[in-house]
Amino acid sequence: MTAKLTTVRSGALTTVQDAGRPGHAHLGVPRSGALDAPAMRLANRLLGNAVDAAVLETTLTGCALRPDQDVTAVVGGAPCPVTVDGRPAAWGAPVRVPAGSVLDVGAATAGVRSYVAVAGGIAAEPVLGSRSTDLLSGLGPEPLRDGEVVAVGTPAGPVPTPVAAPWPAPPAELVLPVRPGPRADWFTPAALRTFTSAAYRVSPHSNRIGLRTEGPPLERATAGELPSEGMVLGAVQVPPDGRPVLFLHDHPTTGGYPVVAVVPEPALAAAAQAAAGTPVHFTLA
Amino acid sequence: MTGDGRATHTGALTARTGCLTARPAGRHALLVELPDAERTAAFHAEVLRRRAAGSLPPVAEIVPGARTVLLDGVPDPQALARRIAGWEVPPVADDTGDVVEIPVRYDGPDLADVAALWGVAPEEVGARHGAYTYRVAFCGFAPGFGYLTGLPPRLHVSRRATPRTRVPAGAVALAGPYSAVYPRATPGGWQLIGTMPDPRPLWDPGRERAALLTPGTRVRFVTADGARTAGSANAAAATVGTGPEAGA
């Protein structure tokens, strides 16, 4: 019998995430997957899981879980207080959670998304090869609800000997390298200078679909509508209000607003941890 | 765009004629832009042919759009752009590709409005809509939602001024040059002309081919058994005679 986790507190938004479902964009299926993929992989590695075993991704307020059997878990990503039955426990390292005890993942003290990995991985039903919750199109498991029971897979073996793990701190300032294009020519030269020199801030309306920004609008050189075209992960799309939106993992696969530039995938983990109000600078890569 | 998009004497277009623009989209993607929907479909088909033949470098995603094909997850986009520039791309033949038949009851709430825009009686909308063979140009908006081209320009209609908060699964809809069938209930601003009685085949992630309508697939709309509902006949009376000048 494998373990089950009862959701004692689901938090603001807790979803199951793994490496997502690439390869289906032509069907309108978003990539999905953990927004801070390095955090997911590190948490899994500390438990001896496959690096892209499914984990829980929390949003700002954490969550609380009660296993029906002893389990080992790692909480990483956004730093937060971790307790087991109210007693402080390690963050960023394996924690033993006895059957019936409550693992509480507290509110993030910095950053946005904490990751809860469990030895054996979260065993939700895969859809198109992935267990990820896709908030844009509704594929994969629904976000966790209070009282919901989540299955855990069979651990591959004993949890490895703990090692010092380097968890990067959430960004106090988000510096995003960009490569112009594919539609940089839809913007005025002044707008392109503004884009890579002005101070933007992370908008509170950001989500798994996109990191929205507040700041000076980018003026278009080309009026009219862009026929729908494929969008890459990390695309910086500029909607009619002129404020750049950085596409994250649940982004639509096609879109009709011009993409001024693209942020490379390795830079997106920091974007996933940039809380509302964090200063953003786009810099030419 | 550079060049003149000149066709060769055979009608085949080559990248060398200058009808193709490869735009970089980050470190690992190319957005290949073409002058029109036909050449986009032809280029997309050529990409798929070359991948099937094993002569395409690794590409993680091939995502057609209205006038573009996105090649994402490409190790060296610049090298691929140079190769593409030398491709001979034959036009897409009208009779290639799978044909999927979609049964439709022409009973949508916007049937009368569309009939007015087309200058026909509502009962005739189905015959008009069903007279063409469509092609899935691209997907997006929702899994399994295909944008179907094939409606002649005189039958193109604009989106509704106010989108609906809920369009039911199976709704057969029109907007601009496109027809579509909603695979599941979502908000939507398209004009609803009919209903696919059982929309479940449109999207089934448990099936090997999850989407019924994949880019390049040809589609025909056929009248579902028991179609032509009383509702559409009633709607007819209200709007017949507003004439083709009403819009579009």
Question: In this predicted model, what pLDDT tens digit does every residue of A19-76 receive, in sequence order?
Answer: 999 999 999 999 999 999 999 999 999 999 999 999 999 999 999 999 999 999 999 9
Interface mutation vs chain A, best among B1, B21, B23, B202, most A CBs within 10 Å: B23
d(CA B121, CA A164) in angstroms, rounded, equals: 74
Q: How confident is the model at residue A165 (pLDDT cuts 50, 70, 90)?
A: confident
pLDDT at B238: 29
Residues of chain A contacting B61 with CB distance shorter than 8 Å: 22-23, 25-26, 230
A143 versus B10: the higher-pLDDT residue is A143
What is d(CA A74, CA A72) in angstroms, rounded to the nearest whole number? 7
Contact yes or no for A72/A34 (Cβ under 8 A): no
Read off the pLDDT of each residue in A124-146 and give the average, rounded to a whole number.
96
Closest CA to B135 of B207, B218, B14: B218
CA pair distance A35, A23, nearest whole angstrom: 17
Instruction: Provide the 3-class DSSP secondary structure of residue B38.
Output: helix
Q: What is the pTM of this model?
A: 0.90
How far is the C-alpha of A107 from the C-alpha of A90, rounded, in Å? Answer: 15
Tokens of B74: 């490409």
Question: What distance in Å separates the CA atoms of residue A194 and residue B206, rounded to the nearest whole number?
Answer: 47
Higher pLDDT, B248 or A94: A94
Predicted confidence at residue B18, as pLDDT, reads 65
Q: Is residue A232 within 8 Å of B72, Cβ to Cβ? A: yes
Cα–Cα dist B34/B22, whole Å: 9
- Show residues of chain A in contact with B184, CB under 8 Å: 138
Report helix, strand or coil for A153: coil
Give A21→chain B minimum CA distance, Å: 11
Distance CA B160, CA B176 (A): 11
Task: Check pLDDT > 50 for residue A175.
Answer: yes
pLDDT tens-digit profile of A267-277? 999 999 999 99
Size of interface A-B (CB pairs under 8 A): 111
Beta bridge partners of B181: B172
Q: Beta strand B178-181 with B186-188: parallel, antiparallel or unpaired?
A: unpaired
Per-residue pLDDT for A261 more than 60?
yes
Alpha helices in chain A (DSSP H): 37-47, 189-195, 268-272
Chain B residue numbers with beta carbons less than 8 Å from the beta carbon of A232 are: 25-26, 28-29, 70, 72
> Running DSSP on this structure, what letter comes out for residue A277?
T
Any chain B CB within 8 A of the CB of A258? Answer: no
Per-residue pLDDT band at A109 (split at 50, 70, 90)? very high
Average pLDDT over chain A, rounded to an integer: 97
pLDDT score for B205: 94
Interface test with B, best of A251, A254, A262, A284 (most B CBs within 10 A): A254
Burial class (CB in 10 A: 0-12, 13-18, 19+), B201: middle
Among A4-8, A123-127, A221-225, the range scoring the smallest mean pLDDT is: A221-225
Is residue A129's pLDDT more than 50? yes
Stretches in chain B below the pLDDT threshold 50: 1-17, 227-248
Helix B230-239 vs helix B122-129: angle between axes, to the nearest 10 degrees? 110
H-helix or E-strand containing B19? none
Buried b (16+ CB within 10 A) or exposed e, A13-44: bbbbbbbbbbebbbbbbbbbbbbbbbbbbbbb
Give residue-wise pLDDT tens across range A9-24. 999 999 999 999 999 9
Q: Min CA distance, A160 vs chain B (Å)?
A: 33
Please tell me the distance from the alpha carbon of residue A4 to that of residue B215, in angstroms, as a whole number: 41
Contacts of A264 in chain B (CB under 8 A): 26-27
User: ipTM of the predicted structure?
Assistant: 0.95
The owner of tokens 């026929």 is A227
Residue B201: its pLDDT value, please?
Answer: 97
